[in-house]
A and B are shown apart, each in its own frame.
Chain A
Amino acid sequence: MGHVYSPLRKPLVDGDKSLHDITHDVCRSIEGKPTALWWYGFLASAAVLGVFLVVTGWTLYEGIGVWGLNKTVGWGFDITNFVFWVGIGHAGTLISAVLHLFRQKWRTSINRSAEAMTLFAVVCAGLFPLIHMGRLWIGFLWVAPYPNLRGPLWVNFRSPLLWDVFAISTYLTISAVFWYIGLIPDLATVRDRAKHWARKLFYGTLAQGWNGSVRNWNHYEKAYMIFAGLATPLVFSVHSIVSMDFATSVIPGWHTTIFPPYFVAGAIFSGFGMVLTLLLIARKTMRLENYITLDHLESMGKVIILTGSMVGLAYGTEFFIAWYSGSIYERFAFINRATGPFAWSYWIMVSCNVISPQTLWFRKLRRSPVFLFVMSIFVNIGMWFERFVIIVTSLHRDYLPSSWSYYYPTLIEVLELVGSFGLFFFLFFLFVRVMPAVAFGEVKGVLKMGRNYDPTGASAKKHVPAEDKPAEGSPEVSHA
């Protein structure tokens, strides 16, 4: 009846924890007083968020003329930020859904914070197209499919920009639902530990009276699997659709069939970069080293090599096809990327995304938190520049040489980019303070895994029921 785990499997949770230890270790960071480190982080991100609100307010008041866009380069930092943040938002669902379907149990200690990160990244992403519309207050009227004030004229369902609206809002909703469903049992635990009435009310309302009934777990387990099954194609569809914003146009450098897989690989790459950045901070500041172990970090490092290499392959393929296609416009667009006025951004992208992740082939480096942290920052920078390169370098020298131009972002645009990080980190700091940042309900389920770790395989221990338990050892009996 008992579980039999291979003795070759390494433990997923270090430190010989009991079930109660797990609850305690995770809950203490939301039950005690916040640490000084948390306050610094929270206030700093709140300040940056304040900057974001001011510059965005100014943009909406004055119009997008405050940006450095011109007639030739009509998409700049705004759409770059949008695509960048959507990409960041892919790792969470990948970790929670795809790894769930593949039965990758190591996902349990990182999926909660990765899902939260997804949600916040998609929030940041969604803001930029809305701001880019300039007149935010009538944005809804432009994209919502209803017979509108311009006569009985509907939105164009053939347009990838409209697909984007559906993709992003579906993704945001389903990620939030997936996250919340995963949270319910853990919120019930927090509710039952709560002493203050306000905490009891808050967590009690969110936990909806969950009491751990196996009749409910029966539905829950199936529902969770369904969500994983729905979210997996969804996550691939979202960045594919975002890539079609470009791929269905006739701009050289954009008009290519490689875009959907290339964007998805890049999204996973950048998402894992951001997950590493956040988890390395959370692991240290919240003392979660026993849960987010070096093995977790190493696994994420491996995903980064894989996706980084895929992205590198895509860069090479693009370049090759631009030459091989015989289209002089395509060829020019790519040679211009690598050697033209924006060559600096192209080479930042290549060195951060293709060259630097290759260092992770060394096991020592994959298992070094400091090195991984530096690497994750490089990945974040590189992937932002990838979006920038694709958008700006393809636009700035178009078919008509007389309209060629350059693009200088204004201070407002730079502050909007920086400010969106403020929003992201503000939400994340709030999350780790209010919600259990590790899905401890799921971690408990994998606690036994690898407890009998023994590379020699000599002593595979099994669960032995106490067949003939002596009577004096039996528990006391009470009648209520």
Chain B
Amino acid sequence: MPKEKNNFFLGVFTDEDDVKAAAKGCNEADFTIYDVFSPYEVHGLDRAMGLGQSKITWVTFLCGLMGTTIALSGMSYANWWDWPLNIGGKAPLPLPAFIPVTFELTVLIGGVSTMLGLFALCRIFPGKKARLFHPRVTDDRFVVVIEIDEDFDEAKCREIFAKNNAEEMKQVDHDYAADPADAEASAEGGAA
């Protein structure tokens, strides 16, 4: 993280294909993409801005494995080690009969951890104030946010944005945040 916070250059778009092309263009031009904002999940936009695979799969895998272990060892301890129950003369350690509970606990622990892992990776929590880069970014606007650092070339960036039908371009301070209450005002000026 840089000690001195960079200001940002924003491009606002109204179409998912435009923002994808713009993000790809900025990534190829080696600009530092602070983030891209989208009201819905645009498939491939994360690759276009240069992000790799999410690590969240590991959370699920490891926690799921933990669920499997807890279930199998817990049931074996209870029904075989601690107090062997003779039920109809069946095997004292009946692995097939343990499969349903093992499966359920794997899914339960894996799933709940994935949710918590998602919150942690996204750094979201109840009470967090959302920082918006456009009043309508959760409605119908897409924003590409470029950090103004030594790699930044404003003319080139403007060219990339304009080529992809940017609705608006502007430079903002490092602590800029849009107020969603302005959404109506920008709706009038916005192109469909």
Residues of A within 8 A of B (CB): 1-3, 18-20, 23, 145, 147, 152-158, 160, 162-163, 166-167, 169-170, 173-174, 177-178, 180-181, 184-185, 188-189, 191-193, 204-224, 226-227, 230-231, 233-234, 237, 241, 244, 441-442, 444-445, 448, 463, 465-467, 469, 474-480
Contact = CB atoms under 8 A, between A and B. Distances in A.
B97 A157 contact: yes
Contacts of A145: 74-75, 78
A150 to B, nearest CB: 11
Contacts of A476: 168
Contact of B57 (A157, A169, A226): A226
B29 interface: no
B60 interface: yes
A234 B138 CA distance: 32
Contacts of B124: 184, 208-210, 216
Contacts of B137: 211-212
A153 B17 contact: no
A226 B111 CA distance: 8
Contact of B108 (A2, A18, A174, A215): A174
B56 A212 contact: no
Residue among B78, B110, B168 with max Cβ neighbours from chain A (10 Å):
B78
Nearest to B121: A219
A469 B18 CA distance: 14
Residue among A158, A178, A181, A193 with max Cβ neighbours from chain B (10 Å):
A158
Contacts of B183: 192-193
Nearest to B39: A212
7 contacts: A3-B16, A20-B140, A156-B85, A173-B108, A207-B130, A211-B132, A463-B17
Interface residues of B, number: 91
Contacts of A241: 100
Interface of B: 14-18, 20-21, 23-24, 35-43, 45-46, 49, 51, 53-57, 60, 74-75, 78-79, 82-83, 85, 87, 90, 94, 97-98, 100-101, 103-105, 107-108, 110-112, 114-115, 117-119, 121-122, 124-133, 135-140, 158, 162-173, 176, 180, 183, 187, 192
Contacts of A444: 39-40, 140
Contacts of A2: 17, 21
A166 B41 contact: no
B78 A157 contact: yes
Contacts of B108: 166, 169-170, 173-174
Given A156-B79, A166-B101, A465-B163, 9 more contacts: A3-B17, A166-B108, A167-B104, A180-B115, A215-B122, A216-B121, A217-B38, A223-B114, A226-B60
A226 B171 contact: no
Contacts of B128: 208-209
A479 B56 contact: no
A188 B128 CA distance: 12
B132 A192 contact: yes
Give the secondary structure class of A's interface: helix
Given A3-B17, A480-B170, A480-B176, A192 B114 contact: no
Given A208-B126, A466-B163, A480 B104 contact: no
B115 A158 contact: no
Contacts of A230: 60, 107, 110-111, 114
B126 A205 contact: yes
A226 to B, nearest CB: 5
A465 B169 CA distance: 17
B23 to A, nearest CB: 8
B81 to A, nearest CB: 10
A303 B74 CA distance: 40
Given A206-B126, A214-B49, A223 B56 contact: yes
Contacts of B21: 1-2, 465
Given A191-B130, A214-B35, A469-B162, A442 B41 contact: yes
A181 B115 contact: yes
Contacts of B112: 173-174, 177
Contact of B43 (A23, A152, A221): A221
A237 B104 contact: yes
B103 to A, nearest CB: 6
